[in-house]
Copies of this chain bind each other. A is one copy, B any other.
């Protein structure tokens, strides 16, 4: 879960135990680690929409100077997960219902396109992974484990898009997915009737296995539109709106 960030964590006498071979996987840049850290907190609702993100507290918690933190915030701002107000700091992005509706429109289109392309070019190992996630989905559903259900649901859909073999599509789809992540998570955890949407996955999987691209495209878009209509009521949490 949480990153082991502090660079002063000295493994005893490990200076020679871990020589700087080029074979060794290079540690991720500090800026990226920090961006990942903050991003995780945002999508998992540790940092609430509209909440102020101050640099100094993060600097102290992670034992890092403000410089890489500011670089990380620029990344997250470009991903539209935070808003940076010049000279007034960074806020967790707080999209309104209308914004979320617009994002979902684009997202479902990309999701459908991903499915359609995946029917053409998904590798067997990718198909198998999607099937595996479908089974996990069913297990979680029958166990009424919403958290596991959400996780498998994520992996199921992302797995299909990955099958498209289109890196740009995967990237943009994934970025929009992050923007919608928190809302979708809260929706899945809260809505009363989560049975209907769950059953749609069987048809989706079948279309995928049949490699029926156009059908899968339609099913995915309809599925997301349906899930959204169920979630819409939950969204009405204006979060922090002061003054």
Find residues 162-177 in chain A having any chain B CB closer than 8 Å to their own CB.
166-169, 171-172, 176
Q: Is A113 within 8 A of B102, CB to CB?
A: no
A145 in the interface, Cβ–Cβ < 8 Å? no
Closest B residue by C-beta to A76: B78
Binding site for B on A (CB under 8 A): 26, 28-29, 31, 67, 70-72, 74-75, 77-80, 84, 86-87, 99, 102-103, 105-106, 109-110, 113, 117, 166-169, 171-172, 176
Main SS at interface, chain A: helix
- The answer to whether residues A110 and B102 also contact, given A67-B67, A75-B74 and a CB cut-off of 8 A, is no
Which residues of the other chain, B, contact A26 by a CB distance below 8 angstroms? Answer: 86-87
CB <8 Å contact, A99 and B172: no
Whether the Cβ atoms of B71 and A168 lie closer than 8 Å is no
- Would A106 and B102 be within 8 Å (CB), given that A26-B86, A29-B86, A70-B71 are in contact? no
